[in-house]
Amino acid sequence: MLSLHTILLCSLTLQISADLLSEHSFFAPLDEDQNVKLYWNVSIESKEIFFTVEANTTGWIGFGISSGQGKMKGADIVIGWVKDGKSYFQDRHSNGYSVPELDIQQNYKLISLEERNGKTVMSFKRMFDTCDPQDNKIEAGTTKVIYAYHMDDPTSEEEIAPHKIGHKGSRSLLLLNSLETIPTLPPDTETFDIRHNETAVPTVRTSYICRAFEIPKVNETHHIVMVEPVIQAGHEGIVHHMLLYECSDHYPTHLLNYTGACYSSNMPPPGRECVGVSTIAAWAIGGKEFYYPENAGFPIGKADSPKVVMLEIHYDNPEKKEGLNDSSGLRFYHTKQLRQYDAGVLMVGEGVSRYMIIPPKQNAWQSDGFCLKECLKEGMKDSKLPKGGINVFAVLMHTHLAGRKTWVRHVRDDVELREIARDDHYDFNFQEYHSLRKEVHIASGDSLINVCIYNTEDRQTKTVGGLSTTDEMCLSFLMYYPKVNLTKCVSVDYSAYQSWETAYNKDGDQAQLSFWTNAVNNGLRDAYQGSKKAFAICQARAHLPIQGVDREQHSKPIINSPYKPEVVCPSARPPSTRPTTSKNVAIDNRGATSYLLLLSTYIYLAAFAEL
């Protein structure tokens, strides 16, 4: 039987977490056991972010914004603890795997730091961009945060004991692109699942398994208002992404519940016609549930709504484990309380093909995929908006292992507008819909450019566009309303590839590293960037071509006026040399505030080493 003391302590602990949840718009556990929790609020008006770190310790805690890879090197770091009634808090940075240096300018502002019932709770704030070169900017897209903690306070101000094994880590988060207000689901909301059924996971690194389903019948039109991933316990690292495609209304009934390898020659032709177009839903590793905005929902039960769908699950099994059976999939929440608009999904980017090539040993190779104005103009003719076009409210950007950055450019009348979405710290193992704080209108005649930056410095041969995890993709899925005929707007640069191959591949073997000289690499880059036209793939549901545009060459967009981002830091201060002494902010929790000189914490490295 639990003691009264234990029961009271548990109650107080739960109350602390409940209070923090109510005080913050966003929350994420930083480790699987939830020993360290992060809460935060965002102020777009003041361009500030407010953090609270809660850790199951009465010792020191550390938190940092990495430079993008979740490592200590290049990270902003704050560390704090409470000892003898005083709270200590420092803003530091790491130039390498050495003692993190105290920032010349303390840009993290402590709000409170206290111990509560066996926990340490540290609240602080900072600007998105502090204009300090010793800090990392917090931007739209993925941010990898790092953390560490110890169960004891430092023995002295000069000496901080290293953390124990398991008391440090990192996690990718969308700090600025998460949905701030969760829409309320109607009381009549029902659910149905589209899931695999004990499907055998192949014992290969990369596999795509498809299964056909019939959408449950409803007596009247319903709107899907939320989609939730259902990942089988223990398979969180194996289920990499899921796509749900619409099939033809004439899909054979005897092939319902078909399960097999996607894209294979053994897949029945009606099944092959489903995959790769008319995407209804998309989820990728690290993602959470997805909510539609309060004025839109995905329609089912209408004459032109999907009747049969194909669930594609990409399994990533690098250890080639045997005996795995998976029942993961998606759960759909739907209601008969219809919203103002039907919503849809538009795939844009570079078509998956062997004409997409990335040479080996590249630090930052750029690939572009085009959603051309001819395709958007024809494909959005049936828009129900008074001014035409569509409104985009969320974006899922997708590459494979070599992807490092990706963004969606927006061009209108030869003028580049603000990017629709951007991720400069793309994480293959964390792909989630980026909720746009302001919807973006795509007008008839606009063009989109999906940009991807790849790093292949660890590869000995070329990387091509393809389905394997070690192949590459450059795609984005735009969630929008009102639903239009267009579902797929991508391009292939096959003529650029062919001109390069003719010039450089007469006697060479592309599989050999020696083939990829600087001249060959530059020739390929020039061929892609210098080509004036692209081969458009412009399709409606069920692979139906948009007449006059699909499978035709069209001019790439011309940009006479590139977009100029807002200048936040016109005269950022250059970094200075490290001071010989550093000030440690010490706040007396009993009321007295003091500033103490603190010698360099040389054992600090051990606290964060090898993050």
Tokens encoding 410: 């927006």
Among residues 108, 147, 208, 528, which one is catalytic?
208
DSSP character at residue 294: T
How many residues are given for the chain? 611
> What angle do the packed helices 494-504 and 518-530 form, to 10 degrees?
150
398 is catalytic: yes
Distances in Å between the Cα of 552 and the Cα atoms of 49, 490, 538 are: 47, 12, 9
- DSSP letter string, 65-117: E-SSSSSSTT-EEEEEEEETTEEEEEEEE-SSSSPPEEPSS--SEEEEEEEET
Pairing of strands 344-350, 486-492: parallel
334 is catalytic: no
Alpha carbon distance, N-terminus to C-terminus of the chain? 40
C-alpha span between 608 and 399 (Å, rounded): 30
Integer-rounded Cα Rg, in Å, for the chain is 26
C-alpha span between 550 and 378 (Å, rounded): 10
Under a CB-based contact definition with an 8 Å cutoff, are residues 508 and 515 in contact? yes
C-alpha span between 463 and 63 (Å, rounded): 36
- Number of helical H runs and strand E runs in the chain: 6, 39
Q: Name the burial class of residue 120, with classes exposed (0-12), middle (13-18) and buried (19+) by CB atoms within 10 angstroms of its CB.
A: buried
Q: Name the nearest CA neighbour of 328 among 198, 233, 230.
A: 230
C-alpha span between 292 and 479 (Å, rounded): 9
Among residues 398, 434, 543, 554, which one is catalytic?
398
Tokens encoding 326: 């998976």
Give the helix, strand, coil percentages of the chain, each rounded to 5: 10, 40, 45
Q: Which residues are catalytic?
A: 208, 398
